[in-house]
A and B are shown apart, each in its own frame.
Chain A
Amino acid sequence: MQKSIRIKTFALASGALGILLATAVPPLSAADNSNAVPNSMQTIQIHAKRYQFEPSIVTLKRGETVKLLLTSEDRTHGFMVKPLGIDTDIEPGKTTEITIRPGKAGTYTTICDHYCGLGHNGMKMKIVVEETAAKSSAANVVSASNTVSK
């Protein structure tokens, strides 16, 4: 049984300050249980700065839910990969969280689509979705929820 409210906590270092924050995310309904986020969900940190993403390649499994934690070192960057339904900004001093469950294997180019300077056009990374034995999903992305915490 899902708890009515799931609390996620983040520890975000900001300069000399250590800040412990909690953010509430909307509860999942009973109908969404099939898409429930497993407690052992993989979490991947992706760090953006002029003009690169680190890591430059991320490998996921089709059908497996993953949480991406996006941060920026310097200024607002974009994080866009349309086939996966993701198009968000990454603001400095905040963590942007995206939960996805890719439904289709392939290699997806992710770009910064928030202009960030002269090297902007080279700022990209790859998301590789590997095939698994899991049951195929009709949708490429089951959910791409987006929460931002300071």
Chain B
Amino acid sequence: MDRRSFLRIAGASVGIGVLYEFAPFLNRSSQADEITAFFKKANGEAPANFTFAQFSDPHVGFQGPPDPLGTKAFESAVALLNKAPRQPDFVLFTGDLTHDADNRDMHAQRMQLFKKIAGGLRTRVIHTVPGENDAALDGGVLYREHFGETHYSFDHKGVHFVALDNVSQGRPEVGAQQLAWLKADIARFPKTAPIIVFTHRPLFDLKPEWEWFTRDGDVVMNTLAPYENVTVLYGHIHRHDVHQSGNVMHYAARSLIFAFNDPATNENKKQLPFDSNDPFKDLGIRLVTSKDAEDKTAALGVKDVVLTKAEFAGLSGMQQMMKHSNSPGMSSSGDSD
């Protein structure tokens, strides 16, 4: 299968999060037939075009410098996606759903608030992985109570999705047990099967001194290497980034709370300041849409998305939104990613 046919990414100026559109089988081929037959046999679901969205790092519970907006960006993203004429099949959340808290009860409240906001999505299906704020301190105990397993997989319309946990061991690490699970999980699929891995931290050494890496990320990538159509979606770094390693494209999503500075040009990691004239500055969506099957000029079309003041001002019930920021379980203290 032509790899370019698997994932088409383009962007549009709208808002927060990332919307992906897949056309798994644009060209009929023997490989496509093989995968079609495999997925039909495995779960009765035939490959078909579909869309999904990626939201990341809402850090529910964080409020204060550099971002006084609390959950406003997250709520804006939900409202924005709800307006889309074509709803995605599901939404992936790539970690740091909540901001860490000083005590268990407060953290549980933040998880409940996350679920309440996410529950406002017209798209009813969401899939999540934890970030270190959600699961690193207690090994994922509280996260599992609210969201289920930290690593798992599922199939959807001809694509195999793998949720990887590289936070709940405390270290930036997947760990031997999960690596063994991953190997056994994807061994069920032909080498041409489309696979999307979603996780929190980068699986390569993006900036280790900023803790933007996974200790055994190279082992993960070696496990995935035999598979021809793998894409990794992740969060954690609060900025857009695209990286290729071998056959695999890694896409980082912007956050729903604040951005970090550029690792290529800065020694120290810093949160970018809040701009009251541009409240959602550096927060944006990358929309991923299919390109014409005949277009051979580029593998992917990506357009950065900027959330404008119109989206910020267009929310109804502004006072109710701001009330969320003063809800129990919200704090203005503490560090963050």
Contact = CB atoms under 8 A, between A and B. Distances in A.
A115 B336 contact: no
A109 B209 contact: yes
B215 A121 contact: no
Question: In terms of DSSP, what is the predominant structure of the interface of chain B?
Answer: loop
B195 interface: no
Given A78-B171, A89-B171, A111-B209, A117 B336 contact: no
Nearest to B135: A115
Interface residues of A, number: 19
B136 interface: yes
Contacts of A122: 335
Nearest to A124: B209
Contacts, number: 42
Contacts of B211: 111, 113, 121
Given A80-B208, A82-B208, A82-B209, A114 B335 contact: no
Interface in B187-234: 205, 208-209, 211, 215
Nearest to A87: B215
B170 interface: yes
B188 to A, nearest CB: 32
B145 interface: no
Contacts of B102: 118
Interface in B148-179: 167, 170-172
17 contacts: A113-B172, A113-B211, A113-B215, A114-B170, A114-B171, A115-B167, A115-B170, A115-B171, A116-B137, A117-B137, A118-B102, A118-B333, A118-B334, A120-B132, A121-B335, A121-B337, A122-B335
